[in-house]
Amino acid sequence: MTDAAKPAQKRQFYGRRKGKKLRTQQQGAYEGILPAVTLALPAGDAPVEPASFFDAPVKQVWMEIGFGHGEHLAWHAKNNPDVGFIGCEPFINGIAALCMQIGEHGLKNVRIWPDDARLLLSRLPAQSLDRLFIINADPWPKKRHHKRRFIQTEMLDKLHALLKPGAEFRMATDHPDLAEWLVEKTCAHPGFEWQAKCAADWQTRPADLPETKFQNKGLKAGRPTVFLNFTRKG
């Protein structure tokens, strides 16, 4: 593994980095597994092919920005062993939870970027990602905080550049206002096409999107998840 070198770019991360104290098992996974799967960037600012982050060859590279407690990412990594997965998450408790699942399932195709995703995105070359997930992002509900939402027009420009033509861009949220924001912003971007043909397409959980504790909690509270599937236009 090369020495990590963070790009000289201003962080735009908002929110907590740690919640409750880690349990003994979580702490063990965090300390024992994270060093081996932490994504490290070479010094400088040259673009780095994401496939090079993995020890074995991978057919595609998929990324999840804000993987929460890692249930979604770990499920996909287990069911797609020939795909390399990059998970971006600065929240220590979530990182520890994913590390536990990596150890439990013996996952070899996962790399973790434990920092602001923007710092990593700035080092990836154009058209280097085959699929992107942003599941249950922080809604930042107060209007004065909307500028903190990850999906903005400028970010969509960046994501469009990084995704390959035809690549899937999947988002999900149980926050109605954020759902409207995501649809409005992404549909307005000329580089993405919404795949929904009817209401059932965004109301129904895709077969390859596993249920998570967060989504089930929202459903019990009367907040059904909205599933948004876009593709990157050629």
138 is annotated as an active-site residue = yes
Burial of 60 (C-beta count, 10 Å sphere; 0-12/13-18/19+): middle
Helix, strand, or coil (residue 10): coil
Burial of 223 (C-beta count, 10 Å sphere; 0-12/13-18/19+): middle
**From the CA atom positions of the chain, what is the Rg in Å?**
17
Residues whose CB falls within 8 Å of the CB of residue 22, separated by 6 or more in sequence, listed in order: 30, 92, 93, 96
Using CA atoms, how far apart are residues 203 and 198, in angstroms rounded to an integer?
9
- Catalytic site residue from 130, 138, 174, 177: 138
Catalytic machinery residues:
138
